[in-house]
Amino acid sequence: MFSKERLLKDIGKCQPFSGIDPEELAEKLAALVEIGKTDKGGVTRFPYTDEEKKAKHLFKNWMEEVGLQVREDAVGNIFGRLEGEEPDLPVVLTGSHLDSVPNGGAFDGPLGCLSSLFAIKSIIDNGQSIKRSIELVVFVDEEGSRFKNGIFGSRVMMGEVEVSELTDFQDENGEVLYDTMKNSGYDPDKLDSAHRPSNDIYAFLEVHIEQGKKLETEQKNIGVVSGIAGPAIILFTFIGQTDHAGNTPMESRKDTVAAAAEFILEVEKAPRKFSKTAVATVGKMHVYPNGTNVIAGKTEIVLDARDVDEQAREEMLVYLKETAEKIAKSRQLTVEIQDGLKISPVIIPDKIKTIISNAAEVSRLTTMSLPSGAAHDAMTLGKYVPSGMIFVPSLNGKSHSPEEWTSLPDCVNGVQVLKESLTVLANE
């Protein structure tokens, strides 16, 4: 569970990087945690709420104190610009998000925003010259926790969202995204004004907690992300026959729960057949009629399959669809398969990976290459402009919970590598 005291406990282990104040970083992270803090020790900060408004107001003040030119677009993305010597050149963009999942952690999103702020502040304080302007961006609604419409701000910026879509999304209280944006003082009808041409952006970098255990297990300081896995969501509906649990012989049953269970075990085995980086999960299931003494005549399960290798992912999906059909046939059932969301993975350019690796090396930090299984705003940007991610360790791999934790030395290391990377990109 987060506390500033716990974070500062390791301040003596922080490397003395020029222009980076670990205590100030801890204080600002703690200040953000207080906005939306829950009685369970986590953070709930949804988009277009008072909590998010307070957090963004505080962050805008911090950007202004550093000396950045601050603006906010029509949907709520905020930007802070450090002017370069050649302001007409495409900018180097860096940032993350401030919204959270319900009762989430302190680091997912905010650490990325603060890393960008402190990296830019260090460049200013050290008097480093830059040719290209650097812009810090805080994207709105990355998590999608309120309107189930994640990576929203970055998709708007890259022109992937139409005004007509804004009425399709509602929160659990029935509030429509379009109306909520208007009531919050934004102008969803001017969505186009928030669109940014890709040729205006030279590169994008994002610092993020790993949300896994690889860096911690390998005892490495920095993760150089090789690619961001693209998710594919598929709904499988096994259809059999509803019967009484007591009076139906075992050999006569058309039990869809048993079929779903057999399929789920195959889902667990499948990724290893196709790729070292593939994963597949069934985390959502509906049983009908869901009675204790009833053999279920219909069972729905939702598959989440991901990989950085799109071909391997597609081959795995074909295999799983065929497996579901074979299981259904062997049990005298039918299965309906409905494709849902499918996003292509993003491969990080070699040039960006090299810049990040070199930045870590000159900072005397150890690195390892690893993929990101989770989606990030860098996934959206990476479709249009060279983009990269810098991972820092997560204690026990915990994320999206109050147990989420990254030590202060690891936070500072992320800032340092980002600063060196931004400096190289801004002077190309």
For the domain made up of 230-342, the CATH class stated in words is: alpha beta
3-state SS record for the chain: CCCHHHHHCCHHHCCCCCCCCHHHHHHHHHHHHCCCECCCCCECCCCCCHHHHHHHHHHHHHHHHHCCEEEECCCCCEEEEECCCCCCCCEEEEEEECCCCCCECCCCCHHHHHHHHHHHHHHHHCCCCCCCCEEEEEECCCCCCCCCCCCHHHHHHCCCCCHHHHHCCECCCCCEHHHHHHHCCCCHHHHHHHCCCHHHEEEEEEEEECCCCHHHHHCCCEEEEEEECEEEEEEEEEECCCEECCCCCHHHCCCHHHHHHHHHHHHHHCHHHHCCCCEEEEEEEEEECCCCCEECCEEEEEEEEEECCHHHHHHHHHHHHHHHHHHHHHCCCEEEEEEEEECCCEECCHHHHHHHHHHHHHCCCCEEEEEECCCCHHHHHCCCCCEEEEEECCHHHCCCCCCCCCCHHHHHHHHHHHHHHHHHHHCC
pTM of structure: 0.89
Kindly list the domain boundaries of the chain, sorted by start residue: 4-228+345-426, 230-342
**Distance from the Cα of residue 413 to its chain's centroid:** 20
Q: What is the pLDDT, as a whole number, of residue 340?
A: 87
- Is residue 137 within 8 A of residue 59, CB to CB? The reply is no
Q: What residue has token string 């670990």?
A: 22
pLDDT at 148: 87
Residues 160, 139: Cα–Cα separation, whole Å: 14
pLDDT digits (tens, 9 = 90+) for 352-365: 999 999 999 999 99
Averaged confidence pLDDT in the chain = 96
Q: Give the model's confidence band at 129: pLDDT under 50 very low, under 70 low, under 90 confident, else very high.
A: very high
Cβ-contact 130, 426 below 8 angstroms: yes
Is the pLDDT at 266 greater than 90? The verdict is yes
Output the CA–CA distances (angstroms, integers) from residue 161 to 153, 173, 232, in the order listed. Answer: 9, 23, 20
Taking the C-alpha atoms of residue 241 and residue 288, their distance in angstroms, rounded to an integer, is 10
Predicted local distance difference test score (pLDDT) of residue 35: 98
Instruction: Give the span between the Cα atoms of 265 and 276, in whole angstroms.
Output: 18
How much is the average pLDDT of 202-216?
97
The stretch 234-252 carries a mean pLDDT of: 96
pLDDT at 150 > cutoff 90: no
Is residue 272 predicted with pLDDT exceeding 90?
Answer: yes
Tokens linked to 393: 């360790």
Residue pLDDT, tens place only, 155-183: 999 999 999 999 999 999 999 999 999 99
Which tokens in the block code for residue 133? 């302007």
373 has pLDDT over 90: no
Query: What local confidence, expressed as pLDDT, does residue 341 receive?
Result: 80
Contact indicator for 147, 161 with CB cutoff of 8 Å: no
pLDDT at 282 (0 to 100): 96
pLDDT at residue number 32: 98
Closest alpha carbon to 194 in 72, 70, 68: 72
Question: pLDDT grade, residue 342 (50/70/90)?
Answer: confident
- Please compute the mean of the pLDDT values over residues 398-415 and round it to a whole number: 96
Q: Could you confirm whether domain 4-228+345-426 is CATH 3.30.390.30?
A: no
198: pLDDT confidence band, cut at 50, 70 and 90?
very high
Q: Which residues pair with 92 in a beta bridge?
A: 134, 203
Nearest Cα residue to 66 out of 123, 130, 4: 123
